[in-house]
Amino acid sequence: MNSAVPPPQLSPELDMDPLWMPFTHNRLFKKNPRIVVQGEGMHYITQDGRKILDGLSGLWCCNAGHRHPRIVEAVQNQLGSLDYAPPFQTMHDRAFELAAKLAAVSPAGMDRVFFTNSGSEAVDTALKIALAYHRAKGDASRFRLIGRARGYHGVGFGGISVGGMVANRKAFAPAMVPGVDHLPHTHDLSQMAFSRGMPTWGAHLADELERMVQLHDASTIAAVIVEPMQGSAGVIVPPQGYLQKLREICTRHGILLIFDEVITGFGRMGHYFASERFGVTPDIITFAKGVNSGMIPLGGAIVRNDIYETFMTGPEHLVEFFHGYTYSGHPLACAAGVAALEVYEEENLMARARQLEPVLEELIHSLRDEPNVVDVRNLGLAAAVELAPRAGEPSKRAMEVFHHCFDHGALVRYTSEIIALGPAPIASTSQLEEIIDLIRQGIRSVA
Ligand SMILES: Cc1ncc(COP(=O)(O)O)c(C=O)c1O
């Protein structure tokens, strides 16, 4: 830490009761809280002054590290000139500047950007664009949306409807978007355990889309949405050839393909977008998180130019798309985004991510023979270790490994039985070694 500002101290009277924490076991957490008060580079500092190595880029988002000085300065400068401007019928220069920068790094022919504040809003925006696009073309019968089992597309009603995580869906079943269907997930340990990079088995699972077309008829299907690499479900890497097949079937039947790149964008796969890595171009990309290195909430959808043009018909004085947020393209978030994209370029972070990938691969696969490990997998700067569930205590073993790591100095993620890693491309080899050693100790220390 080279910050001039000492870490703030927590008041001993801190009242934790009023805060309802998201996706957290609130009661257990408040008995043994993990509270961070400062971040810099690859580290957090806890309220008791301990240094925590961040193995997850915050939550898959701080890809330039914490409080990168260039991005901090850009936000401070922005505050000095403009705090907020309404994005409906007025706009500010930073939003145009960032949209142009995003168009420059997105796949060819995808140059139109709609801003949101989060990944969830980005997904709902993309789904609405897909439905409205078909309608604008006179194809309003295309109302079905196809997601995938174990998919995570945020927590909006659109996102949980196309999402495939039971816990995120079951309490809200009556409110699901109608007409949604799901492709099978591609995770089968009997076929792909301990794969390095993309598994060779599983491309045929994309053919399920063809079966759905036979069942529902293509004329009723608006879009398919998938994460190119499923992050939240615990790093489920796409089988070789799978995404190409999805693309081919969608194109053949006039179905839009949406890649939800909220996690995979901005370096996680060694490129600005995973579509570049996989050589598959979708029709819409959703993004958030890494777009401004997690500094200020920001997300969005990038669409093919001709999709945008389809909306740009009719009288010019009429609004073309009835959708948007008060904070769509907030000046501070966009200023952070412009600076983050400059940092990614100047510090060569896409290339650094690609150089670090084999290092992370070797390290994570060194956990293969540890107790209760049933799988190890990786792609780009995402990696996971899957543990056998403890009888009668689902996900507790992974939770205990997570606690061990945090208590001994590293932040990782756990979800069901899986420990996941998503370090920033600025990580050093020795920092990755440190994190893997802590996971190893953790796995050994929990029965
Ligand atoms: C693929 C994907 N889509 C959407 C989201 C939701 O993003 P947010 O939490 O910013 O709403 C996430 C969050 O992890 C995600 O991984």
- The pLDDT, as a whole number, for residue 6 is 58
178 and 201 together in one domain: yes
Determine the atom of ligand 1 nearest the C-alpha atom of 159: 4
Q: Please indicate, yes or no, whether residues 78 and 141 belong to a single structural domain of this protein.
A: yes
Q: Which residues line ligand 1 (CB under 6 A)?
A: 118-120, 123, 152-154, 227, 231-232, 260, 262-263, 288, 299
* Angstrom distance (rounded) from CA 261 to CA 284: 10
Domain residue limits at 46: 26-64+348-445
Same-domain status, 330 and 249? yes
Same domain, 111 and 236: yes
> What's the token pair of residue 91?
């706009």
Q: Indicate which atom in ligand 1 lies nearest the CA of residue 230.
A: 1
Domain at 206, CATH number: 3.40.640.10
Residue 356 sits in a domain whose CATH number is: 3.90.1150.10
Tell me, yes or no, whether 2 lies in a domain: no
Q: Is residue 247 part of a domain?
A: yes
Q: Looking at 346, 363, 392, which one is the last position of a domain? A: 346
Range 58-80 average pLDDT: 98
The domain boundary residue, chosen from 346, 378, 412: 346
Query: pLDDT category, 447, cuts 50, 70, 90?
Result: confident
Evaluate if pTM is beyond 0.95: yes
Q: Whose CA is nearest to atom 3 of ligand 1?
A: 153
> Sign of the C-alpha dihedral, residues 234, 237, 239, 241?
positive
State residue 59's pLDDT score: 98
How far is CA 208 from each of CA 182, 229, 254, rounded to the nearest angstrom?
A: 9, 18, 16
Looking at the structure, do residues 139 and 230 belong to the same domain, yes or no? yes
Mark whether 337 and 237 lie in a shared domain: yes
Q: 214 CA to middle of ligand 1, Å?
A: 31
- Please indicate, yes or no, if residue 220 is contained in any of the structural domains: yes
pLDDT > 70: what percent of the chain?
98
Look at ligand 1, atom 12, and give the residue with the nearest C-alpha. 154
Residue 159, in any domain of the structure: yes
- What are 4-35's pLDDT values in tens digits? 455 556 677 889 999 999 999 999 999 999 99
If one counts the domains in the chain, the total is 2
The 3-state secondary structure of the chain reads CCCCCCCCCCCCCCCCCCCCCCCCCHHHHHHCCCCEEEEEECEEEECCCCEEEECCHHHHCCCCCECCHHHHHHHHHHHHHCCCCCCCCCCCHHHHHHHHHHHHHCCCCCCEEEEECCHHHHHHHHHHHHHHHHHHCCCCCCCEEEEECCCCCCCCHHHHHHCCCHHHHHHHHHHCCCCCEEECCCCCHHHHCCCCCCCCCCHHHHHHHHHHHHHHCHHHEEEEEECCCECCCCCECCCCCHHHHHHHHHHHHCCEEEEECCCCCCCCCCCCCHHHHHCCCCCEEEECHHHHCCCCCCEEEEECHHHHHHHCCCCCCCCCCCCCCCCCCCHHHHHHHHHHHHHHHHCCHHHHHHHHHHHHHHHHHCCCCCCCEEEEEEECCEEEEEECCECCECCHHHHHHHHHHHHHCEECEEECCEEEECCCCCCCHHHHHHHHHHHHHHHHHCC
315 & 235 share domain: yes
- Among 289, 322, 346, which residue terminates a domain? 346
Q: Report pLDDT digits (tens) over 279-313.
A: 999 999 999 999 999 999 999 999 999 999 999 99
With bands split at pLDDT 50, 70 and 90, how would you rate the model's confidence at 430? Answer: very high
- Confirm whether 371 is domain-assigned: yes
d(CA 257, CA 45): 41
β-pair partners for 175: none
